Amino acid sequence: MDPRRPSRVIDPKVRKVGFFTPGPPPDRTQSGPAATTPTQSPVSNTLSPVMIPPARHASDNLSRAVGMPVPAAPQLHGHPPVDSLQVGSYTLSDSVLSASPTRSPSSRVGLDGEFSEDSVNWMKRNNSGRFSVVLPTGGPDMTQSIEASIDENTGDHVAELPLKNPKPLKAKTTKAERRALQEAQRAAKATAKGGEGNKSVATSATSAPAQTSKPVRQPNQKKEGPVLVSSTLVPEKKGSEKPPEKDRKKEVPPPRMQFDDKNRVEKAKKRSVVKQTEARNRVELFRHLPQYERGNQLSDLESKFFQLDHVHPAVYKVGLQFLSGDIMWSNARCTAMLQAFQKVIEDYSTPPEKTLTRDLTAKINSSVSFLIECRPLSISMGNAIRFLKARITKIPLTQTESEAKTSLSSDIDRYINEKILLADKVIVGHAVTKIRDGDVLLTYGSSSLIEMILLHAHELRRQFRVVIVDSRPNHEGRVLLRKLVEKGLSCTYTHINAVSYIMHEVTRVFLGAASVLSNGTIYSTVGTACIAMVAHAYHVPVLVCCESYKFHERVQLDSICSNELGDPDVIAKVPGRRDNCLDDWASKEGLQLLNLAYDVTPADYVSMIVTEHGMIPPTSVPVIVREYGREHILI
Amino acid sequence: MWWRSASFILDRNDNLLQDDSVPKAESRMLSPPSSSMAETLHNPNPIPINNISAYYQTRAAHHGVVTSDWLAQAQAAVGHDQDTLPSDPDSSRNSSSSEKPFSVIDEFNNWRKQPDLAEAVAAIRALASVIRSSEATTMMELQRELKTASDSLKSWDTTSISLTAGCDLFMRYVTRTSAVEYEDFNAAKSRFLERALKFGEISYKARKIIAMLGQDFIFNGCTILVHGFSRVVLEILKTAAQSKKVFRVLCTEGRPDRTGLRFANELAKLDVPVKLLIDSAVAYSMDEVDMVIVGADGVVESGGIINMMGTYQIALVAKSMDKPVYVAAESYKFARLYPLDQKDMVPALRAVDFGVPIPKKVEVETSARDYTPPQYLTLLFTDLGVLTPSVVSDELIQLYL
């Protein structure tokens, strides 16, 4: 590139200076033919829009990785399979490696060491036998599906995904899962030798951890992973013989259950503890999210109390609290869950002929799936569970049971202390520096962290006013309003409808978050995006306060693919009105109500994210995730 | 952060720099303090007179409008003071440490006398000599000594962002080493010193590195708008001019201390065509500008910069006309600050002379600098390389956490 052009395009030479890394990834032996390199650029990932977030399932990834270079090799349509195999595997490894320096130099910087390691694994996986079979068998219909999806999304951003994939992949599989998987695979091999091959392995493997606990939904979800992904995967499963050990280790939890798949839902229902009936009149776009009739679950579950012996009473209690909405805040939910698990661990004793690590993981898994039935997990809870499982697998075999239990229990305590309580304190300290005398602060809904910040600023005798914006149906803001007014803060209470009116007098917007995703997107209570956008339009800085244990490496571009649906009845009913015109909405054909729980706020509308690691711009979230993501698990 | 310094480009261009860097080093050593500067130097007052930022006093002393007779005087002074002035900083350090108790402030002032040496680099060198002359016998003691020294430096002028940031980064870089675990204290201390000197070296070289990086962006026949007096920007333009590039510079006047005049003066010496603008003519002449290059007092965590008053409006105008805005800043100016808006900074005040008496009732805005948010900046030229604004925070996170 000519550096003399007055453009904003960066001279590659100079760019290299800025990001130079100690050395190239060591294993660059297999560099493909140069001719194939340019072809990868227009071809993006073959993700269908609905499947975006969970980049977790190995086979899912594989299909994507394979899918990417395929359309670039046009001869695939006509050529004999052997030929296309060569092309496919070459372009693939080439694109993975060559894409790294040019496409995403910034992501390379920090990855330094680990990138090379990952890329090695990645290559090994790519070169495994599995692929070679995929291409020929899945040929025609795969290319079709791929081309179709390429038309839809040929964005640059997606093209980077295959690079990132290896990492979450790695993080996702805890040791226990992998071990359970291996175990199951061995068993499967013994029973059905070779014939069924991968298919049976996959299914039995995934259900392995749940063998001890009968009614779990999780294994079911896992099973459906491959089917859901796309038709392209089926031939792969059938055709290939046993993949190398390395590959199977990479098996990871599948994408979330898609609730618009009838068969799966039926099966899931059979296993579930909580008797739920599917809600009627669901909104078309959100069919893939679970939605049940409300009202009867709680009483139903209560009556079952004595039958559900596999669910620990503490977990049961927390589950009921989730279901009834007694615990709403994400920090509170996470703490409650961890404390329940602490009790589970306390009362746990390893059954004979089993090892603690494996059995306890299964136990935790079944508790988790019970909790999921009560209410879908939040991302912070997912992170906490990941941490706990990692701790369990880290327990050395030599440790006695009581030792292991105490160490786990203290680990949980430490997690709660360090990641939630202490982090909150640090964040409060940071955020208070941004509150000056005479400020008008706007906050939306109710966040425990924001409450602490405001109260602390008040204790420091800062003179400021608070505008609490609230929304139906939960009216969370009223709780916050009550607490603030009790402490003597001067408050204004309004509904979200009035936000554009009130915004011009606001000087700072403080928002909480359920999660911060690695593209800087804020995943938070529905309505947050609206507030942030209005604030941005009025040039009011938006500060998002979030503990870093809620950060997630996922990237989400809309609030459709991953969300939580609330009870539609609550938005149909208007309190205080005698006759609601929507009373019998469910019986009306063509009327659907949508009660979303979360939305995503694009990073553009966020001025700053306050974490315990300091105040950072939303662009730096990946740095935190990268530098501290592992620490969350390892603590 | 520092080990990624792009200093290798200096080695690559060794021959190019060889001829001019040597004599300059000499002149830097020998440059005398001007009279106004001497006043500020002997007045290390944490609370500056008239509420005027000490940072800007120093800057005024360094970059005030230079008249030809001032230059002549200065030239004469060099000849006179050559003997009396401590030309060798080491000897001055020795004498000061032997005669009176070592004071980091004195040391700092000593270094600061060189107008070409940035304040932060002076501070870094002063801190290095703290290590050298320390009589501590344990690591803890030495660290504490360093801490107090850097704190006293920081409190010497709280309005200077680069001073604070430089001290912080120094502490981070020097003390964050395995040396703390060394059993032998002397070995650990020498390790500290080694790192300190290396840091000083990197910081000192920073301007050269940036100049090498930045001059690539200047193309033949381009018009560059500069604002205020920045030594880094001058270095870039100098390097570009030396590599036979033909370009034109528009200089803003840089009220109130009219640093732009000095800048134009320096450029005229290099035979670069230069045109002076009043500060309010920026938008008027923006359409003939190809790029804007500014320096920075500090680079903050959002990737934005804090710089002399007027930078923000230039960046706004440039953005609206889609002209690139480049910032040249050494990485010791990366500060852990995150202003949300213009008022969200430690105010640095500077008297404004309007030429006519201002009625008592009229208020005067005396803020000396403004904050330019990252969305208005195109690229930052730093000694770590050419960065987009968002990388600043990444670097800071990696360094501080």
Q: What is the pLDDT of residue B179?
A: 56
More confident position, A312 or A124: A312
Whether A11 sits inside 8 A of B9 (CB atoms) is no
> Which of A65, A63, A57 shows the shortest CA–CA distance to A231?
A63
> Which of A162, A190, A50 shows the shortest CA–CA distance to A104?
A162
* Closest-approach residue (CA) in chain B for A543: B340
Asked if the model's pLDDT at residue B367 lies above 80, the reply is yes
Q: Which residues of B touch A627 (CB under 8 A)?
A: 397-398, 401
* Closest-approach residue (CA) in chain A for B301: A616
* CA B63 centroid distance within chain: 12
* CA A459 centroid distance within chain: 37
Helix (H, G, I), strand (E, B) or coil at A46: coil
Place of tokens 């230079």: B66
Contact between A601 and A521 (Cβ < 8 Å) = yes
Q: What is the mean pLDDT of residues A382-407?
A: 85
A632 pLDDT tier (thresholds 50, 70, 90): low
> Which of A387, A575, A110, A549 shows the shortest CA–CA distance to B397?
A110
The CA–CA distances, whole Å, from B79 to A222, B73, B82, B84 equal: 84, 10, 6, 10
A620 vs B6, B340, B393: nearest CB:
B393
HSE value, Cβ hemisphere, 13 Å, CA-based, for B223: 12
Q: What are B371-399's pLDDT values in tens digits?
A: 999 999 999 999 888 999 999 988 888 77
Amino acid (1-letter code) at residue B43: N
Q: What is the pLDDT of residue A386?
A: 87
Whether A10 sits inside 8 A of B386 (CB atoms) is yes
Q: Which residues of A touch B222 (CB under 8 A)?
A: 4, 6
Contact between A583 and A593 (Cβ < 8 Å) = no
Which residue in A619, A626, A627 has the most chain B C-beta atoms within 10 A of its own C-beta, making it the best mutation to test that interface? A619
More confident position, B225 or A475: B225
Asked if the model's pLDDT at residue A563 lies above 70, the reply is yes
Q: What is the pLDDT of residue A229?
A: 39
Cβ of B217 under 8 Å from any chain A Cβ?
yes
Cβ of A617 under 8 Å from any chain B Cβ?
yes
Whether A614 sits inside 8 A of B324 (CB atoms) is no
* Closest-approach residue (CA) in chain A for B384: A18
Highest averaged pLDDT of the listed ranges A308-322, A390-404, B283-297 = B283-297
Q: What is the pLDDT of residue B73?
A: 52
Q: What are A146-195's pLDDT values in tens digits?
A: 444 444 444 444 344 444 444 444 445 566 666 766 766 776 666 555 44
| Percent of chain A whose pLDDT exceeds 70 | 52
Asked if the model's pLDDT at residue A246 lies above 80, the reply is no
Cβ contacts of residue B91 below 8 Å, gap of 6+?
Answer: none
Tell me the shortest Cα–Cα distance from A438 to chain B, in angstroms.
13
HSE value, Cβ hemisphere, 13 Å, CA-based, for B312: 12
Q: Which residues of B touch A541 (CB under 8 A)?
A: 340-341
ipTM of the prediction greater than 0.85, yes or no: no
Whether B340 sits inside 8 A of A19 (CB atoms) is no
B385 vs A17, A541, A628: nearest CB:
A17
In the beta sheet, which residues pair with residue A615?
A610
Q: Helix A105-127 crosses helix B389-400 at what angle (to 10 degrees)?
A: 80
Cβ of B324 under 8 Å from any chain A Cβ?
yes
Highest averaged pLDDT of the listed ranges A321-330, A356-365, A466-475 = A466-475
Tell me the shortest Cα–Cα distance from B79 to chain A, in angstroms.
42
Tell me the shortest Cα–Cα distance from A469 to chain B, in angstroms.
22
Whether B216 sits inside 8 A of A20 (CB atoms) is no
Backbone φ, ψ for residue B58 (5° rounding): -60, -45
Q: What is the pLDDT of residue A379?
A: 86
Whether A608 sits inside 8 A of B338 (CB atoms) is yes
Lowest mean per-residue pLDDT among A525-539, B12-26, B53-67, B171-185: B12-26
Tell me the shortest Cα–Cα distance from A22 to chain B, in angstroms.
9
The answer for B 341-360 residues in CB contact with A (under 8 A) is 341, 343-344
Q: Which residues of B touch A3 (CB under 8 A)?
A: 216-217, 219
Whether B9 sits inside 8 A of A17 (CB atoms) is yes
Contact between A380 and A334 (Cβ < 8 Å) = yes
Helix (H, G, I), strand (E, B) or coil at A597: coil
Beta-carbon neighbour count of residue B390 at 10 Å? 17
Q: Which residues of A touch B387 (CB under 8 A)?
A: 18
Q: What are B21-36's pLDDT values in tens digits?
A: 444 444 444 344 444 4
Cβ contacts of residue A223 below 8 Å, gap of 6+?
Answer: A202, A203, A206, A207, A254
The CA–CA distances, whole Å, from A93 to A65, A89, A100, A167, A599 equal: 9, 6, 11, 16, 37
Asked if the model's pLDDT at residue B296 lies above 50, the reply is yes
CA dihedral A621, A624, A626, A627 (to 10 degrees): 160
Q: What is the pLDDT of residue A22?
A: 44
Q: What is the mean pLDDT of residues A451-457?
A: 94
A217 pLDDT tier (thresholds 50, 70, 90): very low
Question: Can you tell me the distance from the alpha carbon of B123 to that of B105, in angstroms, rounded to the nearest whole number?
Answer: 9
Amino acid (1-letter code) at residue B367: S
Whether B213 sits inside 8 A of A14 (CB atoms) is yes
Buried b (16+ CB within 10 A) or exposed e, A51-78: bbbbbbbbbbbbbbbbbbbbbbbeebee
Whether B385 sits inside 8 A of A5 (CB atoms) is no
Q: Which residues of B touch A17 (CB under 8 A)?
A: 6, 9, 213, 385-386
More confident position, B373 or A144: B373
Q: What is the pLDDT of residue A585?
A: 75
Backbone φ, ψ for residue A608 (5° rounding): -160, 145
Altogether, the residues listed in chain B come to a count of: 401
Asked if the model's pLDDT at residue B273 lies above 90, the reply is yes
> Which of B398, B378, B394, B375 shows the shortest CA–CA distance to B386?
B378
In the beta sheet, which residues pair with residue A55?
none
Whether B340 sits inside 8 A of A608 (CB atoms) is yes
Contact between B374 and B304 (Cβ < 8 Å) = yes
R_g of chain A computed on alpha carbons: 26
